[in-house]
Structure 1
Amino acid sequence: MNSQSDDPRADRDRRRWLQATAAALVAAPWASAWAQPASAAAEEAKAPPLPALGSPLTVPRIGLLGGGVFEPAQAEGRPLLVYWWSSTCPFCALQSPSMEQLWQSQQGRGLQMVALSIDKKPEDAVAYLQKKGYSFPAAWASPEWRKAFPKPRGLPITLLRGRDGKLVLAEKGQMFAEDVDAMAGLI
């Protein structure tokens, strides 16, 4: 018997079953404790929701991992991409190459970016960025700094502010390459 089906309904049903199974595993009571320390889980539970589209978005000043500083004034009148990530996040690992590609292709059009690592130590973020060869501007969002600019619930988090300073895109969770590519139309 052939294990692969030519029936698109069977493929759709299999995908739905896999998604439901994965969701059940993630939602299991032990899953959050297994995936992260209790303090991180407690912090995530208190995290705010995504900001509303059309709301103003101001990112405080932050030191960049590669040297230099992200100054909010440098992004005035320009599109600003804010990307929350972690070197241990498998969904971030899948999305980050697309973010690098977007950065490379759109910085000439005025795109500003700050990728905010929530790693436990800045050294972990630096090592990851170097290993992967990412050039997008990245910073370590220390717990103290996050008090001024709290990370919304979820990871990765992608926020795109338009030239007018208002949010035009807010996504929680992994974006696929074609979704990241489509952001170029908003810049």
Structure 2
Amino acid sequence: MKHITPAAADLYVASARRRWLLGTAAALATAHWAGALAQPVSAAAEEAKAPPLPSLGSVLDVPRLTLLDGSVFDPARTQGQPLLVYWWSSTCPFCALQSPSMDKLWQSQKGRGLQMVALSIDKKPEDAVAYLKKKGYSFPAGWASPEWRKAFPKPKGLPITLLRGRDGKLLLAEKGQMFAEDVEAIAGLI
């Protein structure tokens, strides 16, 4: 029979205790993450299921929407006019770079008949309102709630810029940040 020293026995007990604690921690973590995975679909999962950009020449029908300022975007009022649809978020760094150019385009072209609706995908409409106020943007903006997006799904990517011509057909469909000169060039399509 082998003799075990008291120090070796203490080392064995400490090692067994560490293995038990690590195993218990792993089991608790697994239970926690399994519950987290059972939660509602995340924004990343929703984005993965998003449709591609609509094809140029396709008809673009945007549903009615209450804007963040309380007014209503009525698609019937945009018939026969160019319509710029801009998907954005207050947390999107690329939107932060593109939005000043979008506001400048709106200011310079609304007199030529340009209609616009900027669709915030922020988690809460209050986040979008605060951001617009802080930045001083004047373009018409609404909050694209999850329910509203069922009727008009956001294409994959952000920001998304769509331009519908006077005939109701899509002239421009861009995913990702557009540079200032690219946004300015939209005026030539109106």
Same fold (TM over 0.5): yes
Question: TM-score normalized by structure 2?
Answer: 0.79
Match of 2:88 in 1: 85
2:121 counterpart letter in structure 1:
I
Query: What is the alpha-carbon distance in structure 1 between the residues aligned to residue 41 and residue 130 of structure 2?
Result: 25
1:99 equivalenced with 2:99 (yes/no): no
Match of 1:180 in 2: 183
Query: What is the alpha-carbon distance in structure 2 between the residues aligned to residue 63 and residue 111 of structure 1?
Result: 19
Query: What is the alpha-carbon distance in structure 2 between the residues aligned to residue 158 and residue 127 of structure 1?
Result: 22
1:57 equivalenced with 2:60 (yes/no): yes
Query: What is the alpha-carbon distance in structure 2 between the residues aligned to residue 59 and residue 74 of structure 1?
Result: 11
Find the partner of 1:129 among 127, 132, 147: 132
- Give the gaps of 5 or more residues in structure 2: 1-39
Identity of aligned residues (%): 85
- SS of corresponding position for 1:57: coil
- CA RMSD, Structure 1 to Structure 2 (Å): 1.0
1:124 counterpart letter in structure 2:
D
Find the partner of 2:148 among 111, 130, 145: 145
Deviation (angstroms), 1:38: 6.7
Structure with max Cα Rg: 2
Query: What is the alpha-carbon distance in structure 1 between the residues aligned to residue 107 and residue 159 of structure 2?
Result: 20
Match of 1:113 in 2: 116
Per-residue displacement from partner, 1:46-74 (whole Å, max 9, x unpaired)? 00000000000010000000121000111
Question: TM-score normalized by structure 1?
Answer: 0.80
The count of corresponding residues between Structure 1 and Structure 2 is 151
- SS of corresponding position for 2:42: helix
Segments ≥4 residues shifted beyond 4 Å:
none
- Do the aligned partners of residues 117 and 165 (structure 1) sit closer, same or farther apart at CA in structure 2, a change above 3 Å counting? same
Deviation (angstroms), 1:163: 0.2
Find the partner of 1:68 among 48, 68, 71: 71
1:101 counterpart letter in structure 2:
K
Query: What is the alpha-carbon distance in structure 2 between the residues aligned to residue 133 and residue 52 of structure 1?
Result: 33
